Amino acid sequence: MAKLTAAARKKLKATSFALPSKRAYPIHDIAHARLALAMVAAHGTSGEQAKVKRAVKARYPSIDMRKK
């Protein structure tokens, strides 16, 4: 996965984040979308988890959302 620098993160549109109002969990590519799912599962609230899952599924329907 390519590293997302602070400068590159600032340039991302709000729509490139699973939680655009917080600019949290970037999902601009499939690798970051998978990472967002893992991070929100470990550190997010149940509400955040649902929102991130919805955003990732809408943007990348091919990602398997089942727990492993």
Structural domain tally of the chain? 1
The domain in which residue 24 lies consists of 14-59
User: What is the distance between the alpha carbons of residues 5 and 51, in angstroms, rounded to a whole number?
Assistant: 24
Mean pLDDT over each residue of the chain, to the nearest integer: 94
For residue 12, which phi and psi values (nearest 5 degrees)?
-65, 145
Q: Are 12 and 26 in contact (CB under 8 A)?
A: yes
pLDDT given for residue 66 in this prediction: 75
Q: Which residues contact 24 (CB under 8 A, 6 or more apart)?
A: 17, 18, 48
2 domain-assigned: no
7 domain-assigned: no
Residue 26 host element (H or E): strand 24-26
**What number is the average pLDDT over the span 42-65?**
96
Residue 45 has pLDDT above 60, yes or no: yes
Extract the tokens encoding 37: 């799912």
